Amino acid sequence: MRYIFVTGMGRSGTTWFTNLLHGIPGVKAHHEYIDDKWLTVVSRYVCHDNYTIPFLERSKAAIESSHPSDATFIDVNNYLRYSVPALRKVFEGCAVFHLVRDPRTAIPSLYLRRGE
């Protein structure tokens, strides 16, 4: 299986980008498949690899058991932005990209966000 991870910040277009990737045949694109909001905090400030690597290893086992081995798995995920070194250890050979949005438009969109 080929792994691609796209990280970003809130309001950077990750949901839109995931929806765009859904249209590619043979690609299994997910928005925040590896879903752990604490991963951002823990991997940046607390125990780094002691929490992050075992968590990602469990996630990898779950991915491999539920996706075809010849698929390209893409997770567009804000929570992984501080876990890139651990991602590279657990998912050897994975590609990691960071989605960036112009802060002049991202900041106002945070203020205009309602009901989320």
Burial of 47 (0-12, 13-18, 19+ CB in 10 A): exposed
Each residue's pLDDT, cut to its tens digit, for the chain (116 residues) gives 999 999 987 777 888 899 999 888 888 899 889 877 777 777 766 666 788 888 899 999 999 999 888 889 999 988 888 889 999 999 999 999 998 877 777 667 767 766 55
Secondary element (H or E) of residue 110: helix 103-112
Place of tokens 């086992």: 61
pLDDT of residue 14: 86
pLDDT of residue 89: 94
